[in-house]
Each structure stands twice: as structure tokens, then as C-alpha cells.
Amino acid sequence: MINLKINGLEVKAEEGWTVLETAKFYGLEIPTLCYNEGLSPYGGCRLCLVEIGEGPKAKLVSSCTYPAEEGLIVRTDTKRVIETRKMMIELMLSLAPNSKVIQDLASKFGVTQVRFKIRNEECILCGLCVRMCAEQMDGRAIGFQHRGYKRKISTPFDIRSEECRLCGGCIYICPACQLRCQGPEAETAVCNACLNMDPTCLDHYDDLQCWMYDAGRCGTCVRESKEKSKEQTSKQ
């Protein structure tokens, strides 16, 4: 067993566990995006960052790839982690503003602006689709090509791949493929629908009418509350 500390809590990890796996075992929450239990960890989205060590040598590492080490001191929500995490989300929003997953992360962690030029590529190159295709579906039809700012995911020669069996695994696992609450024709890059929600259904019903805690999904609350606040400002 490996002994380490997470947020001051003394925890034990098995050989071969990562910091993220250890945290999950203990029910401690670290946000992730490119991590999936059934796939090998990649460490590309930089959302699962935690601060290890103390003092001037402390640094941020991706918990999904960092191995649990004896005596490691981990903190999941330091000032540095939070500021960096917000910048990562802001970068992701500028690349895929139509993704519900990323918009939800924005609301959850208080990202309310996108100061970058929107370059909507509907993809953040998290690599989940590549790993899904290779590891779970044994297809190897898509992969990373080029590097740096020119990096992309595609089939060989950008044509229909002979290896692709049309299983749909890549679409299933893609975080950018679920549409955001305010829809693809949204006015702003940042949705924040759930932050600005005022459940109108509670005026009529005792229970929140959204199923599966998908608050704001139908858009009614948001639209109605927007109109309500427009009315209020025009009245003033």
C-alpha cells in the first residue's frame, strides 16, 4: 500500500494507482474530461490538474496520469489549480462552444467569459474518440495527425477508412457531440444557462419538472427568466 495525503486527508493507494484513481476511491472529486475508466489515461485536457508538493517547488500535474507515490502531498483546489482550471475551460469554450459538457463545466467552475476569438472547431482534441476506436472497438480507423496548432484527428488521407466499421463509438464518447442548453444558434459563446436559471415551473408545481436533473435542458426556464429580467430592466 502507498501512503499519501490528499487535501490533508491521509489515504492509501494500491500499487499502480494514479492520483485520480486514489481520489475517486475515496470519493474526492476532481473534474475530468478526457479521462474514461475503460480507456487508457491520456492527460491531454489538463482539467484534472492538482497541486503536488509544497513551497516553491510545488507544481501542477494531471492527476489521471500521475502515479500515487509514497509521501506525496496532493491538494485539489488551491488558488493556482482553480485559476488554471478556469483558463483551460475558457480555452475549451473557444474551441467548442456548442458542447454541453464544456458549458456545464463552465457554469460549475464559474467561467463566465471567453476572451479568445471563437474558433469553433467542435473538437478539443481530447483523444477520447481515438482511444475508443483503438482500445475498445479495435478499429484504429482514426488517429492524431500533425502537431502543434495544426493538430487534428482524422482517417488516413482524410477519406473513408477501410477500418471503420461504423460502430458509432467515437460519436458516443465525444464530449463535444452533445448540444448545449441554449442550442447551437446561441447568442454568446458562454451559455451559463444553469447559473441564470429561474425555474418557472415551481410557480405551478411542487416539484422541479426537469427529469434526470437536466435542469434548463428544455430551455423554457431560461427563456422565460430572460424575458422576465428584460421586462424588469425596461420597467426601471
Where do contacts with another protein occur on this chain (CB under 8 A)? 42-46, 49, 59-62, 65-67, 69, 80, 83-84, 87-88, 91-92, 94-95, 115-117, 124-125, 140-151, 155-157, 161, 163
User: For residues 111 and 89, is the Cβ–Cβ distance under 8 A?
Assistant: yes
> Shortest gap between Cβ of 76 and another protein (angstroms)?
15
State in Å, rounded, how far the first CA of the chain is from the last one. Answer: 64
Q: Among 31, 24, 149, which residue's Cα sits nearest to residue 89?
A: 31
Toward another protein, which CB reaches closer, 156 or 199?
156
Q: Indicate the residue among 141 and 194 with the shorter CB distance to another protein.
A: 141
DSSP-H helix ranges across 32-165? 79-95, 100-108, 128-131
Residue type, 110: G
Q: How far is the CB of 155 from another protein (least distance, A)?
A: 7
Smallest distance, Å, CB 66 to another protein?
6
Q: How far is the CB of 196 from another protein (least distance, A)?
A: 25
The secondary element (H helix, E strand) that includes residue 225 is: helix 220-235
- The three grid cell numbers given for residue 134, joined into one nine-digit string: 483503438
Nearer to another protein, 8 or 148 (CB): 148
